[in-house]
Amino acid sequence: MKTENRRILIIDDERPVIMTLEALLKRHDYQVDTAPTASQGLKLLKSKSPSLVLLDLQLPDADGLEMLDRIKTELPDMQVIILTAHDSLHNAIESIKRGAYHFISKPYAPEELLSLVEKALEKQSLVQEAEELREKTQQLEKRLEIAETRLTPIFKSKVMQEIEELINAMAPSDANVLIVGESGVGKEVIANVIHARSRRAGKAMVKLNCAAFPQTMIEGELFGYVKGAFTGAMNDFPGMIGAAAGGTLFLDEISDMPPDLQTRFLRVLQEREYRPLGSTRTMKADFRLIASTNRPIAQALSENRLRSDLYYRLNTFQIEVPPLRERRQDIPPLIALFLKQFAQQLGKPEPDIAADAFQKLLDYSWPGNVRELQNAIEYAVVLTRQGLIGAKELPTEVQLPTVLQQTERGAPPRTGVQSLDDVERNTILQALAQCHGNKKRAAELLGIQRPTLYNKMKRYAIEL
Amino acid sequence: MATAAPLNRTDALAVPWTDAVRFIRQLSHDLRNHLNAIELQSVYISEFEATAERKAEIDRLRKMLSGLTSALQKISVGLAELGTNLIAYRASDFVEDLRKTIAREFQDKSGEINWTMDTGSAMLQIDPELLQQAFLEVFSNAFQHDRGKGALRIACKIDRNRLVFTIHEPKIRFKSSTQNWGREPLRHITRGHYGLGLYRVRAIMEAHGGDMRAQYDPTGSELVTTLILPLQREES
């Protein structure tokens, strides 16, 4: 086996040795650098990145074994062959113990040296290959872990169990699916599960967030284009429909797709053909469509954000993912999942959650749904120091008493005239929320005495 | 049909020199391997041993083994096949390297050498490492055998496209013939001395297209050894 990187550094202070070795190795197609001192050797080691070092144990400016230590400290995978005039195993044993690949006594036989050099380079090549494979494996494991996490929605609550049953029933088909639900409920996670359990699981799942692209770009992203189709189209681009061939196309926030594009896309769904921008060729479209929207369907249709004909085409199966506050049974397993995930990501042991903190997580309304819960757990895992997440490690809004939570986020303005009592109650709630439940500061903010605040809280049944 | 010649047990060992060399090389190699293994084993045992006294004994044993290995290494080197790796090398650099190595290898004796150098910018075509081994062997002999009083005198000059390196060694006595100098391996064998050194020196010199001559001058009681190397041919 001939190795690819054939650069060798010789560190030896004896000119005859250096020159003979250099000539011998160059004659056998190795690239050779030479250094007569340890300090020069270290410089060349950094600048030339050799694969192998031939190191003399007697150097003018350093002890060879110490030099070996330095090389192995700075470059642990570097192969080093020790050259020495000392015909004793003492140095050999010591140098092997310190990580040298091998040891050769001067005068060496050229064949013996060449054979050793080739073996050392082979080893170096294998070490590098193993390192690359290890890195790739780690990356793959990480990706798999992330993918598994993504692919693991929690189906604990009854409503989620029903959704899972529906997924299991329809995933193997090629039927279009529309997933609706508030932002952060996990629509993409559900889409991932459908793809993973479909017959197209072995092919790509291509995702396009229609809200993330300017309207002028989304057409090119979806249908692809040929070079020169428009200014800036420097190369052919296959587009998401092309990239999803054989797999699944997930269109997130489909109601944000421009109406004229919705019409064009509807034709793709009907005819199973499309044409990239600037191209005269018609291409076959072979994808399973999953779309999602966070807008209530009725509203999207009435506002003409979603074309009704496209909606009916999409809506073969509709999955409505309920907000987290309506399926609190899913909160504990989601907490457990995110704790594990973030502890691993941050390299920390998985922390416990104190009872009061856990209760706050259960009580909170989670307007941002699973995504907000995920962020809250990440926040807590980052902050926790003693392996226990207390209430103080939770985000401020989660720490607030339930009654103040909606106020803190800014309750939607009520239409029409409110009664004075309602106005007063809401003002008190806002002050308390702003002061994170601190009554003394809330009273100061409201410009009233603390006992007055207590009385009013009692009157309006505000309990913290 | 020819009949087999009767086996002559005395003649059975009269093998050709090349076969004997191959045999010794292999034997030396195998023995060194065994000794290395034993030495490694002693290191292994030493790692277990906590008593300083026993550790010291194991260390002594290791040194004995190491001495044996060195002796075998010497034989292996003496009988090794010659593979020259010739490169262009300045004659003055070669001599300078040699002086440095002698100063290092013969620290207590290197002061007893008078050097006269005149090599100019002449270039050699040599294997500097191998050739240095040959020169060191000559110096080693000069320092070891029947050394007389006075310094070694070295003269190094260029003469008719050759590097002529002469060593004048004062001798207490000298009984050997110099006629076949370095052509008779194993002629002088004593304890720790196997009669291979000069034979290898000559082989190395000849592998470089050079020569080695020696002559004893009884009036001055000195052995004059001359090592001759051709200069690198100029490119036409």
- Tell if the CB–CB gap between B70 and A15 is shorter than 8 Å: no
| CATH classification of the domain holding A277 | 3.40.50.300
A165 and A304 assigned to the same domain: yes
| pLDDT confidence tier of residue B236, bands split at 50, 70 and 90 | very low
The interface predicted TM-score of the complex, written ipTM, equals 0.72
State the pLDDT confidence band at B1, using cuts at 50, 70 and 90. very low
Chain A residue closest in CA terms to B44 = A93
Please tell me which residue, B8 or A327, carries the higher pLDDT value: A327
The 10 Å Cβ neighbour count of residue A270 is 10
Look at the block and give the residue holding tokens 């020819």: B2
CB A371: neighbour CB atoms within 10 A? 15
Judge if pTM exceeds 0.90: no
Q: Could you give the number of structural domains in chain A? A: 4
Query: Are the C-beta atoms of A253 and A245 separated by less than 8 Å?
Result: no
pLDDT tens-digit map of B40-90: 788 778 878 889 999 899 888 888 888 888 888 888 888 888 888 899 999
A312 and A266, same domain (yes or no):
yes
Task: Tell me whether residue B23 is in a domain.
Answer: yes
**How far off is chain B from A154, nearest CA to CA, in Å?**
57
Instruction: Sort out which chain A residues have CB atoms less than 8 A from B80's CB and list them.
Output: 107, 109
One domain, residues B159 and B42: no
- The per-residue pLDDT for range B112-130, each reduced to its tens digit, is 889 999 988 999 999 998 9
Residues B99 and B216 in one domain: yes
Tokens 């995110």, located at residue: A338
On whether any CB of chain B is under 8 Å from the CB of A94, the answer is no
Identity of the amino acid at A232: G
Six-digit token string for B8:
């002559």
Closest C-alpha among B68, B78, B77, B81 to residue B33: B68
Tell me: do B44 and B113 sit in the same domain: no
> Is residue A279 domain-shared with residue A247, that is, in the same domain?
yes
Contact (Cβ atoms closer than 8 angstroms) between residue A207 and residue A188? yes
Q: Is residue A143 part of a domain?
A: no
Task: Let me know if residue B5 belongs to a domain.
Answer: no
Pair (A311, A343) in one structural domain = no
CATH number of the domain bearing residue B164: 3.30.565.10
Q: How far is A21 from chain B (nearest CA, A)?
A: 9
Q: Print the domain residue range for B134.
A: 87-230
User: Model confidence over A343-375: pLDDT tens digits?
Assistant: 888 888 899 999 999 998 988 889 899 999 999
**Structural domain contains residue A417:** yes
Same structural domain, A387 and A410: no
Dump pLDDT digits (tens) for B140-186. 888 887 778 888 999 999 998 999 999 999 988 877 777 788 888 77
**B225/B123 same-domain check:** yes
**A179 and A308 share a domain?**
yes
Contact A90 B62 (CB under 8 A): yes
- Do the domain assignments include residue B236? no
Last residue within a domain, chosen from B79, B95, B129 = B79
Q: How many CB atoms lie within 10 A of CB A144?
A: 11
Pair (B98, B191) in one structural domain:
yes
Domain assignment present for A46: yes
> In this structure, are A182 and A280 located in the same domain?
yes
Same domain assignment for residues A288 and A332:
no
Among the three residues B79, B98, B118, which one is the final residue of a domain in this structure? Answer: B79
A89, A105, A107: residue with CB nearest B40: A89
State which residues form the domain around A57: 7-129
| Residue of B55, B27, B25 whose CA lies nearest to B42 | B55
**CB-CB neighbors (< 8 A) of B70 in chain A:** 87-88
Pair (B42, B66) in one structural domain: yes
Q: Distance, in angstroms, between A89 CA and closest chain B CA?
A: 7
User: Is there a contact between A24 and B133 if contact means CB atoms under 8 Å apart?
Assistant: no
From start to end of A1-58, where are the E strands? 7-11, 31-35, 52-56
Instruction: Give the separation between CA A283 and CA A281, rounded to whole angstroms.
Output: 6
Residue B150, in any domain of the structure = yes
Dist. CA B21–CA B93, nearest whole Å: 34
Based on the domain organization, do B66 and B93 belong to the same domain? no
Residue of A nearest to B39 (CA): A89
CATH of the domain at A391: 1.10.8.60
- B178 and B95 within one domain: yes
Report the range of poorest mean pLDDT among A135-139, A286-290, B209-213.
Answer: A135-139
Q: How far apart are CA A54 and CA A100, in angstroms?
A: 10
A54: helix, coil or strand? strand
Select the more confidently predicted residue: A101 or A399. A101
Are residues A297 and A360 both part of a single domain? no
Residue A171 in domain: yes
Question: Over 60: is that where the pLDDT of A150 sits?
Answer: no
Per-residue pLDDT band at A123 (split at 50, 70, 90): confident
Closest chain A C-alpha to B128 CA, distance in angstroms: 5
pLDDT above 70: percentage of residues in chain A: 92
pLDDT at residue B2, rounded to an integer: 44
- In a domain, residue A147? The reply is no
Q: Please tell me which of the candidates B85, B97, B132 has its beta carbon nearest to residue A110.
A: B85
Q: What CATH number is attached to the domain comprising A43?
A: 3.40.50.2300
Q: How many residue pairs from chains A and B have C-beta atoms closer than 8 A?
A: 59
Residue numbers in B near A105 (CB within 8 A) = 73
Q: Do both B57 and B170 map to the same domain? A: no
A107 and B77 in contact by Cβ < 8 A?
A: yes
Residues A215 and A346 in one domain: no
Which residues of chain B are at the A interface, by a Cβ-Cβ cutoff of 8 Å?
36, 39-40, 43, 62, 66, 69-70, 73, 77, 80-81, 83, 85, 87, 89, 93-94, 97, 101, 127-133
Alpha carbon distances (Å) from A359 to A363, A400, A416: 6, 12, 36
φ, ψ dihedrals at A84, nearest 5°: -150, 150
Q: Phi, psi (5° rounding) for residue B129?
A: -70, -45
The reply to whether B72 and B92 lie within a common domain is no
Closest-approach residue (CA) in chain B for A58: B104
pLDDT band (50, 70, 90) for residue A319: very high
> What is the Cα–Cα distance from A101 to A115, expressed in whole angstroms?
13
User: Comparing A215 with A317, which gets the higher pLDDT?
Assistant: A317
* pLDDT mean across residues, chain B: 85
Say if A259 falls within a structural domain.
yes
* Burial profile B44-56: b = 16 or more Cβ within 10 angstroms, e = fewer: eebeeeeeeeeee
A150 occurs within a structural domain: no
Query: Is A194 in the same domain as A172?
Result: yes
Q: What is the pLDDT of residue B213?
A: 93
Q: How many domains does the structure of chain B reveal? A: 2
Residue A72 has pLDDT above 80, yes or no: yes
Q: Which of A221-235, A401-415, B22-36, B158-172 has the highest mean pLDDT?
A: B158-172
A210 strand-pairing partners? none
Check A110 against B36: CB less than 8 A apart. no
Question: Residue B161, by phi and psi: left (phi above 0), alpha (psi -120 to 50) or beta?
Answer: left
- Indicate whether B186 belongs to any domain: yes
Do B150 and B110 share a domain, yes or no?
yes
pLDDT for res B217: 86
pLDDT on residue A26: 92
Examine residue A107 and say whether the peptide bond preceding it is cis (omega within 30 degrees of 0).
yes
The whole-number average pLDDT for the span A117-131 is 86
Residue ending a domain, among B26, B50, B79, is: B79
Regarding whether B129 and B49 lie in a shared domain, the answer is no
Q: Report CA dihedral (A113, B203, B192, B75) to the nearest 10 degrees.
A: 30
**pLDDT band (50, 70, 90) for residue B196:** confident
| Rounded Cα gap, residues B163 and B210, in angstroms | 9
Same-domain check for residues A334 and A313: no
